[in-house]
Amino acid sequence: MSEVRFRRISAADFFYRNKDIAGFDNPAKATFTITRELIENALDACDLHGILPELEGKIIEETRGLQIEVKDQGLGIPNEHIARAFGQVLYGSHFDEEKQTRGVFGLGGKMAVMYGQITSNTPCYVESSTSSKGPTHWVELRIDIEKNRPIILSEGTKKNNGWRGTLIRFSFEGNYSYARPKILEYLRQTAVICPYAKMRFIEPNGEEHVWKRVSTKLPPIPKPMRPHPEGVDLERVRRMRESGEYGTARELLTKGFQRIGKKTATNILYLTKRFGDEILPETKVQELTDRQIHQILSATKQYGKFRAPDASCLSPVDEELLERGIRENFSPEFVTTHMGKPASYEGHPFMVTCGIAFGGDIPFSLDGKVHLFRFSNKIPLVYDARGGLCADVAENEINWSVYGVKREDPIAVYISLATTKTPWKSTGKQAFGDKPEIRREILNALRNCGRDLRQYLRRKQKLLEEERRTAILERWLSMIIRDAAKLIDEQNPPPVSLLVKAPKESETQTPEEE
């Protein structure tokens, strides 16, 4: 019998062995994933800190494959963190905060660097500056995959020409021609959901794409929040006990969670006697056993009278920004948007913003289904569009005929979810899982938009009917005037426009102007 071998591998080694989990299935998908991850990091470095995003990206062809470079005008990375920020998997700045971010695992950017390293055998180059007046620090690095740590090959500083931000550049094996449609669609949809961003992207053939900033209004900056009592588990409470930040059991509840005051904490602790001995409010946290921690958690779940989580930890795209993004990039005949109120699922706060665009550059439907655009925390989801919660609601729960929409009409639906934890359908992270609370908010927001669309289409139909009647009247009147002129031998009959009542100014407005 052979001996069973046991060994430990690092987080970097695990993802190296399972690259498909992070979206590196093949060269084309890897090209898209690398571009997306670096763009998202650049945007997070800006708008999460109240900076209007301005970024440049380019991909060039070289003998060993492709080279990508992305440069932002964001906050920058302190010199002591540059190497680990790009060379250590699961190292990042978001792990200690309960707030909305585009990425939370500290994985995507490092996986991109790792993929470039193992496919091109070249290092990654990073520049960053935290002040436009200070020097720019640069690092050339590799990732030690077995030990999950950066290997600094060289580093130094150089003169700064008034720039603050981060630049990353590395080579990788990819297939741009196959990835191109998805990359350009991703960037176009990013311009929709982030109309306040200025983006410039250069393709390998030298073609340049520019998305201008059409709004200087930023979404609110998310604030770090304590966890909501409905969204924690036993391990989370154990870690809070070991942190040493709380003195008594009551403080553990009032200071460790949001939406729990002294009275509520006392009531929760009173309920612990249903699951064993009652835990007194003044019991020292360090003396709480695992069994007592479980009692507190069980009592918290049974209490069930908490207010919804604080939504200030979210950064939703509001109605105005979404509408401007849609108008700029799709030039629709009509657009309406609606943002729902803050809600929660399993203790995680979320907000939904939906939009409907009709006509203009929206293509006609060839399969009787609406064109669907989905966003998670301002990230466009360009794969698996017909899977998951959004497609189910938009195609199966909404009866579009109620709102005057025909099967072939040019209509597009936009669904944006802002949350501290996106419920993904699968590890591919391209479709939302089915949460009843989120389904309800999406449905309500789309119905609100649908009612606006129905009013527009009714007004449009009314105007078309009036124009048709006017045209018929003018045709008959012109015949009557011509014949009457002959009877009286009139050489210059009056124009028909003098006999047709001119519509009022309000009647000549299009539904869009109203």
Tell me the pLDDT tens digit for each residue of 392-435. 999 999 999 999 999 899 999 999 999 999 998 887 788 999 99
Strands 208-211 and 65-72: unpaired
Query: Confidence class of residue 117 from pLDDT cuts 50, 70 and 90?
Result: very high
Reported as a pLDDT band with limits 50, 70 and 90, residue 95 is: low
Half-sphere exposure of 295 (CA within 13 A, CB side): 18
pLDDT at 143 over 80: yes
At 514, is the pLDDT very low, low, confident or very high (cuts 50, 70, 90)? Answer: very low
Q: How far from the centroid of its chain's Cα atoms is residue 24's Cα? A: 21
pLDDT of residue 512: 47
315-325 average pLDDT score: 95
Rg, the chain, Cα only: 29
Query: Would you list the DSSP string of 364-412?
Result: PPSSS--EEEEEETTEE--S-TTSSHHHHIIIII--GGGGT--TTS-EE
Q: What is the mean pLDDT of residues 116-144?
A: 94
Domain with CATH 3.30.230.10 in the chain: 311-456
Contact 315, 221 (CB under 8 A): yes
Between residues 373 and 499, the one the model is more confident about: 373
* Positions of CATH 1.10.8.50 in the chain: 229-303
Residue matched to tokens 């669309």: 453
CA distance 260 to 225: 13
The yes-or-no verdict on residue 23 having pLDDT over 90 is no
Average pLDDT on 54-59 reads: 97
3 state SS of 311:
helix
pLDDT at 140 over 70: yes
What residues pair up with 98 in beta bridges, in sequence order? 225
Give buried/exposed letters for 289-311 (b at 16+ CB in 10 A, else e). Answer: eeebbbbbbbbbeebeebeebbb
Per-residue pLDDT, averaged over 437-445, amounts to 96
Predicted pLDDT of residue 182: 95
Q: What is residue 2's predicted lDDT score, i.e. its pLDDT?
A: 63
- Give percent of the chain above pLDDT 90: 63
pLDDT band at 16 (very low <50, low <70, confident <90, very high): confident
pLDDT of the residue at 323: 97
Assigned CATH topology for domain 311-456: Ribosomal Protein S5; domain 2 (3.30.230)
| Average pLDDT estimate for 269-278 | 90
Is residue 376 predicted with pLDDT exceeding 90? yes
- In this predicted structure, what is the pLDDT of residue 97? 60
Measured CA angle at 259 (ends 258, 265), to 5 deg: 100
Query: Bridge-partner residues for 58, per DSSP?
Result: 69, 202
Tokens standing for 127?
Answer: 């520049």
User: Distance between alpha carbon 139 and the CA centroid of its chain, in Å?
Assistant: 30
The pLDDT score that the predictor gives to residue 455 is 95
CA–CA gap between residue 139 and residue 157 (Å, rounded)? 9
**Sign, Cα dihedral of 463, 467, 470, 472:** negative
pLDDT of 5: 75
Average of per-residue pLDDT across 125-144 = 94
The pLDDT of residue 499: 64
At 105 the pLDDT is 55
Using CA atoms, how far apart are residues 256 and 288, in angstroms rounded to an integer?
15
Strand partners, 379: 376
Could you say which DSSP state residue 432 is in? B
Predicted local confidence at residue 17, as pLDDT: 76
What is residue 3's predicted lDDT score, i.e. its pLDDT? 75
Question: Among 27-41, 273-287, 494-508, whose mean pLDDT is lowest?
Answer: 494-508
What's the whole-model pTM score? Answer: 0.86
Residue 509 has pLDDT above 60, yes or no: no
Instruction: Write down the CATH number for the domain with range 229-303.
Output: 1.10.8.50
The reported pLDDT for the residue numbered 36 is 94
What confidence tier does 510 reach under pLDDT thresholds 50, 70, 90?
A: very low
Alpha-carbon distance values, 70 to 57, 138, 285 (Å): 4, 14, 48
| CATH 3.30.565.10 boundaries in the chain | 11-211
Assign 310 to helix, strand or coil: coil
CATH topology for the 11-211 domain: Heat Shock Protein 90 (3.30.565)
Round to whole Å and give the CA distance between 431 and 194.
20
Q: Helix, strand, or coil here: 184?
A: helix
Average pLDDT over residues 93-101: 69
Q: What is the mean pLDDT of residues 348-362?
A: 95
Q: CA nearest 138: which of 109, 172, 171, 166?
A: 166
pLDDT of 498 higher than 70? no
Rounded CA-CA distance 360/358 in Å is 7
Q: pLDDT exceeding 70 applies to what percent of the chain? A: 94
For residue range 277-298, what is the model confidence (pLDDT) as tens digits? 889 999 999 999 999 999 999 9
For residue 216, what pLDDT band results from cuts at 50, 70 and 90?
Answer: very high
User: CB within 8 A of 222, min separation 6: which ones?
Assistant: 48, 99, 100, 101, 312, 313, 314, 315
Residue 356 identity (one-letter amino acid): I
Tell me how far apart the alpha carbons of residues 110 and 23 are, in angstroms, rounded to a whole number: 13
**Degrees, nearest 5: CA angle 13-14-18:** 115
* Cβ pair 301, 230 in contact under 8 A: yes
Select the more confidently predicted residue: 170 or 487.
170
> Shortest CA distance to 338 belongs to which of 358, 321, 318, 357?
318
Q: Residue 106: is its pLDDT beyond 60?
A: no
**Cα distance between residue 378 and residue 370, in whole Å:** 21
